Every structure is written in C-alpha cells, then in structure tokens.
Structure 1
Amino acid sequence: MADILPDRPGSGWGHKTEHRARVRAQIVLWAARGRSNARIAVEVGVHVDTVRTWRSRFADLGLQGLADRKRQGRPTAFTALQAAQVKALACQLPAEAGRAAVALVVPGAGPRGRRARHRALLSASTVRRWLDQDALKPWQHRSWIFITDPGFRPKAERVLDLYARTWDGTPLGADEYVISADEKTSIQARCRCHPTLAPGQARAMRVNHPYKRGGALTYLTAYDVHQATVFGHCEPTTCIAPFMALVAQVMSQEPYASAKRVFWIVDNGSSHRGKAAADRLVAASPNAVLVHTPVHASWLNQVEIYFSVVQRKGVAPNDFTDLAQVGDRLRAFEDRYNATAQPFQWKFTTSDLDDLRARLDRHTADHPEESSVALAA
C-alpha cells in the first residue's frame, strides 16, 4: 500500500473523487508508511481524533470500514397520505381544485407545535420532487379525436392504396399520378424588435421574443407523392378560387396535363369539401380525380409531412420584415427541396389500419360512453 501512496498529500487523485473518501484514503495510506496520528492530522488537515477513528475502523473492517455507516436520518415532515393528497391535487385542473396552490401543515399544539407547522409548510421543491419521483407530469396533456366517420375504413383504405400505387385493386399505370394537396394557413411575418444574433461557440441563435406583426398569408401546396415534387404558391387567404388556381398550376403542365388520371388527395377543408368540389375539379381537369381523407384524418395526407419540414427548416425562426420576404423564403425553400428530395417512406398500410381499428373497437367496448358512432365494417 505504501508503494502507491502519492508523493504529496492531495496529489494523484481524480478530480471527481469525493473529498471525504479522499481524506480517509490518505489517512490510511499515510498510516501504512508509519506516520504518527499527529503527523497525519497535520498533513491531511483534520483533527487527530478523526485520524484515530478511521485508522481504527480500517483495522477492524478493512476497506468497508471507510464507508459511512447507515444512519436513521431526519424524520419525514409529511406523511404518505399528505403526499398522496398533493399528487391527487396536481392531477386536477386549477378550476376543479378551486385554488392555485395548497399548503399542508403537520398537526401539533402549543408553541412547539406552531413552530413545527411553520417549518413543515409545503414548498414548491417538495412538490416537484414528489411528482418527479412518481413520474407524474400533470402540466402536460395530449388532445385526441375519436374516429366518428362511418366511412372511415373505405376512405382511409383508398388513400393508403394510392400510396401503394393501387386503385380499386388495380395497379396504377406509368401515366397515372397521385397528388397530395392542402393549405398551410396563417404564416405570419414577425418583425423582431431587435436583430437576431447568430449562433456562437456553445451558444444557440438568439431570437428576440417581442415582435411586430406584418400580416399573414396562406401557402397552398400540391405534393406529388411518388415523384417528391412540390408545387406551391402563396395567397392572402384560402377559399375555392386559390385552391382551383393551385389545381390549374399543376394540371397545366406535363406530365399531368396529358396523364390518364391524376388523383388529388385532400382533407375536408372548406375549399375542397364534398361532391361539389369533386365536380369543380373534373370540370377544370377531366383527368383529375378528387379523393377525400376521412373526417379528422388529415394525418393520412402526406403533404402534412412536407408542411412540417417547411415549418422547421423554412419558416423557423420566424423573423421576417414583411410578407414579401415570407413568400420569397417559401419559394426558395421549395426550389431547394425539389432539387434534392426523395419520396417519403410511408409505412402505414391497410394492415396497420386494421390493427388500429381493432384497438379502437376494444377501447369502445370497454368505454361505450366515449363513442356513440360505430366504425363501419
């Protein structure tokens, strides 16, 4: 042991070594060199009684004697019932609880009891620790919409079949195309009150929070599912006329103008909803076929994935002087995307759809009050 002792006290130890473990090890190692207790106390910087204690414990128990003994610790100030009450309260909305916060006290009597109650007031750090230990995150929530469209299965199946290049059980031909279209509304031009600071070493880009609003526009987009090609333009708002302008933008150029069929997958937005929208599309382009996703199932529309990419890589952080700059950014991003993009690897199939419906059916059977409309077989 003496051979591995550092030449100088405190040298040769790792920076992450716990201080008290280092002191105890130094005491033992100096003792192995034959130093007296008084000399060790001076060199290590502790009281001589401390040296005697750890030399004695090491002699009796070896290395295990250098560890702290188990202690009873300070008695808890709160009971398990009080902790459970706080957790139950945290899982309620403030309006349901009737208050914004809660303070629990430990019962007691007399001056000593009052001092105990004062010390036992529930702190915010205690609440955080309790919730963290139980993995409760009551401040988070997820919204969801239960499927109520009676035609969900056949509508979703048609969309998924088109992604797999099939229509009514027949493979699509080389001159048939699938377009996913929608509008990304209310893209604002936010002019920051102070210039954005570029990122630096160990520092993220800094974008000033206060901003002046410079208006908003709508980005209408048609996405060729199998060619990974985007067609888009900006409008002040969304309605039937801007959507039909998008249709004309796509269908007026090749290969769509002379294609056998071009399937347009859209959700149930007001500008392309129902049979009237399908009739308008056919009147404008006889080779176009409008295909609606089920109600509240826009997640089946692949253009939503492109919109997510635009939001993360094209628009954010939102720092534009005016709407013209927003439009220029969207057009430039669209050009770069078309130059390098690959089709999305869509993996949700009709088999996955059946599994989803089976899980929903089981959930409905267990909780019949949550759904009054059965899914179509």
Structure 2
Amino acid sequence: MGKMNLTDTEREQLLSAARSRTVRAADVQRAKLILMLEDGESRDSIMRTLGCDSRFIARWSGRFLGERLAGMYARHPGRAPKQPPARLEARVLNHTLKHKPANGSTHWSSYKLAAELGDVSVSTVQRIWRKHGIKLQQLERHMVSNDPDFEAKAADVIGLYLNPPAHAAVFCVDEKTAIQALDRKDRMLPLSLGRAESHGFEYKRNGTLSLFAAFNTATGEVLGKTAARHTSEQFVAFLIDVVGQPKRREIHVICDNMSSRKTERVAAFLNAHRNVSLHFTPTYSSLLNQVESWFSRIQRDVIARGILSTWTGSIRESLFHC
C-alpha cells in the first residue's frame, strides 16, 4: 500500500482526530490508519497495532483515496425516512393553512394536527412542515400604513438615500421619548458559566428622559441631545444645533409627521432657514428613517439591561458611545 500524499491540512486534521479523547473510537481508528499508511507502515504492522483486518485497511484507504477527508465518515446502514406522497403532503398543508384546531387553540401543533387527521403520524407532520419552512411557534407583528400619500413620501425619502442632491447634507432626525431609568429592587445575578445574567422582576422608576438624534447619511455620524420633555420647542432647538453643523449648505431633514413637526414654531424656523427642507416619512413607517437603527442599538446595548438609579451625566454620555 502506497502513501496517501497528505496535504498539511489533512495531516493536521487527522492528527487532531487520532489524539482526541472526544471523537468516536471508530473515527480515531480510521485517522490512525491513514497516518500509518502515510508513514509507510506495513499492512501486518497496522493490523497488529489497530486490531483490524485487511478488509478494513482496503475499505478505508480506498475511501480516503477516492474522497479524501470526506470519505472518513461512516455511512450508517438503514434507509432514509420514507417521504410522504404528494397527496398526503397537500392534505397536511391544506389543513395547516386553512383550518383551525377544533378545541379553540389559536394555532396547530404537530401533535394536534396528527390527532385531527387521524391517519398521519406526528413525525410526518413535522417533516412536511420542515420541508416547507412552516414554523408555527413563531409570530411576527406588522402595522400597515394608512397614509394616502405613502408611495410619494416613501419615494421621496428613499430617493434622498440613493441619490442625494449634490453638495447637500441629509439628516435622519427623530426622538426616543420617555426613556425610563429603572433600578431593580433585587440585586442582579451576574453572568457565569452555565447560567445567564438574571435581573429581578420588580423595579423602581427613577425618572424619564427624551433623546433627540440626527443621523448623517453620508458620514454615519450621529448628533445627539437629551431633554426632559419632547415638545415642538425642544425639536426646534435641536434642529438649530443640527443645521449649525454644515454651514450654509443645503440641508434635508427626514423625520416622521408628528404634530410637533407642524407647529407655528417649526414653520418660523423653516422660514428663517431657507436652506432647510423637511421630508416626512409615511404614517406608521418609521423604519424608513435610518436613525431608528441607532435607537434600536441604544435600546439593546444600554437601556434594556441597564440598572439605572438616575439619569446621571455619565449615563447620558453612554447613550452616544455604545
């Protein structure tokens, strides 16, 4: 038997398997076989060392020469699960999608559907669902925009993202309102090996805060400001900070169409800053505003698991550096 002509990667993986204490014994034996053949060991020496016969050597050396490392895995005997016929599959799918359980449940389980159909096993139902990507344990929620000008507003906003006016600045502006500083009544149990971090259910409210943010779509920079309230006055004060960044440039501000955006104070601001234009996202379509992605990160990284006794300056700063 000649050498196996191992590559460095193959030798490394075979050596790792041969020395492992967790790999299956049969896989260890095959790895040692290939390594011994590569090192020029005789057939008799291999049979004595590994306690195998010549058929074992012929089978696995041939498998390796033909398929390399992929051939080292055993093909276990037995037949594949019987695939359900098309008519049965269609029946299961039809009942899943067009009927509800008779016991008043809101959705099917594989056990309920198998019992309802009577002549179909639980495993068959599971196999059909898995094949077609049906995951009844999952639930998604959505909100449909009722804005009659949805298409025009969406096209306007998306156009600013894809093809902004030359030499203009585009900002996505919004506020995250009433952020609560929550302190837990019970001490937090920290993350440890084999156990997730744990927070107590009971909490104490220590005030709220509103966060204004402007996302520069060209640079990715976020300008932020905190306030005790979110009013038209606060919104205009923040806009003044934003438009002071790119001096004397054309500025486009993407924001939602809350009532605070349409007050006389805002109109006066726009009249005094002719280089600023507001572009409103459609109703219930805040995801078109890219700053929402930054708010999601703030919620995930700072607020959701934060234990806050008060809105101190350091905690306020952490909102802008997460």
The answer, yes or no, to whether TM exceeds 0.5 is: yes
- 2:134 partner SS: coil
In the TM superposition, what whole-angstrom CA distance separates every residue of 1:106-145 from its partner, at most 9, and x where no partner exists?
x99xxxxxxxx9xx9737xx65555334433233354455
Q: 1:80 to 1:244 in 2, by over 3 A?
A: same
User: Is contact 2:232-2:263 (8 Å) kept?
Assistant: no
Offset at residue 315 of structure 1 (A): 2.4
Pick aligned residue for 1:221 from 206, 212, 215: 212
User: Is contact 2:113-2:125 (8 Å) kept?
Assistant: no
Q: 1:256 to 1:19 in 2, by over 3 A?
A: closer
- 2:212 partner SS: strand
Matched, 1:184 2:176: yes
The separation in 1 between residues aligned to 2:75 and 2:280, in whole angstroms, is 70
Pick aligned residue for 1:206 from 173, 188, 197: 197
- 1:305 partner SS: helix
Q: Between Structure 1 and Structure 2, whose CA radius of gyration is higher?
A: 1
Query: Structure 1, unaligned stretches of length 5 or more?
Result: 5-11, 35-39, 45-50, 109-116, 338-377
TM-score (norm 1): 0.51
The corresponding residue for 1:299 is 287
Taking only the aligned residue pairs, the percentage that are identical comes to: 22
Offset at residue 304 of structure 1 (A): 1.5
User: Is contact 1:82-1:104 (8 Å) kept?
Assistant: no
- 1:324 partner SS: coil
User: Is contact 1:221-1:303 (8 Å) kept?
Assistant: no
The corresponding residue for 1:113 is none
TM-score (norm 2): 0.58
Matched, 1:132 2:130: yes
- Report the number of matched residues: 280
User: Is contact 2:253-2:277 (8 Å) kept?
Assistant: yes
One-letter amino acid of the structure 1 residue matched with residue 173 of structure 2: A
The separation in 2 between residues aligned to 1:84 and 1:321, in whole angstroms, is 54
Offset at residue 267 of structure 1 (A): 0.8
User: Is contact 2:189-2:199 (8 Å) kept?
Assistant: yes
The corresponding residue for 1:265 is 254
User: Is contact 2:214-2:223 (8 Å) kept?
Assistant: yes
Offset at residue 221 of structure 1 (A): 1.2
The separation in 2 between residues aligned to 1:58 and 1:260, in whole angstroms, is 78
The separation in 2 between residues aligned to 1:59 and 1:262, in whole angstroms, is 75
The corresponding residue for 2:297 is 309
The corresponding residue for 1:368 is none
Matched, 1:332 2:318: yes
Q: 1:251 to 1:77 in 2, by over 3 A?
A: closer
- 1:232 partner SS: strand
Q: 1:127 to 1:184 in 2, by over 3 A?
A: farther
CA RMSD of aligned residues (A): 5.5
Q: 1:17 to 1:150 in 2, by over 3 A?
A: same
The separation in 1 between residues aligned to 2:80 and 2:243, in whole angstroms, is 79
The separation in 2 between residues aligned to 1:252 and 1:74, in whole angstroms, is 67
In the TM superposition, what whole-angstrom CA distance separates every residue of 1:311-350 from its partner, at most 9, and x where no partner exists?
233324x23244525x75243332x47xxxxxxxxxxxxx
Offset at residue 281 of structure 1 (A): 0.5
The separation in 2 between residues aligned to 1:156 and 1:78, in whole angstroms, is 46
The separation in 1 between residues aligned to 2:297 and 2:215, in whole angstroms, is 16
- 1:19 partner SS: helix
One-letter amino acid of the structure 2 residue matched with residue 140 of structure 1: Q
Q: 1:95 to 1:213 in 2, by over 3 A?
A: farther
